[in-house]
Chains A and B, each alone.
Chain A
Amino acid sequence: DAKTTQPNSMESNEEEPVHLPCNHSTISGTDYIHWYRQLPSQGPEYVIHGLTSNVNNRMASLAIAEDRKSSTLILHRATLRDAAVYYCIPREMDSSYKLIFGSGTRLLVRP
């Protein structure tokens, strides 16, 4: 399994952009990078995924380094509802595509 390194915690002010980094230096060339988040007292929820190029959706943007050894999840304007634990997950190519969660980054959003 590809190992990931994320900061334990980060803080942001409401309505400011947040950049959540992830190192995944052992990722293989075919592994997609997925991000999930877990809001307090809820199950994890999908945020975004990508392979090589940058990706945008209504929740966030994903910037992937050219060598694919790191990626950054970008929340363009953090809201209080974005306070959660964010997990970066390289999705390995196997018969199951199970999610292997690391310890994630706990994001605190200040009003």
Chain B
Amino acid sequence: DSGVTQTPKHLITATGQRVTLRCSPRSGDLSVYWYQQSLDQGLQFLIHYYNGEERAKGNILERFSAQQFPDLHSELNLSSLELGDSALYFCASSSLAGISTDTQYFGPGTRLTVL
């Protein structure tokens, strides 16, 4: 158990819908990262928040957005869903940002299926 929790574990929805994925980092961790894992693209970095502020963006679609709240939990919002958005979405947390030796701890993931 990494100490990172993600809800829900599974999500099934239809094209065009909007969903919210939630992540609670390890106690005391200030950084939250979101990653997407699909069969054809592998594990891809989406976005990084540190203490409520966006630090870096990766291959995140404009239909996707995220935020980190004052209690440090984070939400990833996916809208106008398409079949290709079906994937595993992982959240990871780390204690700091800007340290190359910092370890990221991953949650169990949310499996999103778009029908």
A contacts, CB < 8 Å to B: 30-32, 36, 38, 42-46, 49, 87, 91-103
Contacts and interface: CB of A to CB of B under 8 A. Distances in A.
Contact of B56 (A46, A49, A93, A98): A98
A98 B103 CA distance: 10
Nearest to B44: A101
Q: How many residues of B sit at the interface, in one of the four size bands? A: 20 to 34
Given A43-B90, A45-B2, A101-B42, A95 B56 contact: yes
Interface of B: 2, 4, 33, 35, 42-45, 48, 55-56, 58, 90, 92, 97-109
Nearest to A102: B42
B106 A93 contact: no
B33 A43 contact: no
Contacts of A96: 48, 55-56, 97-98
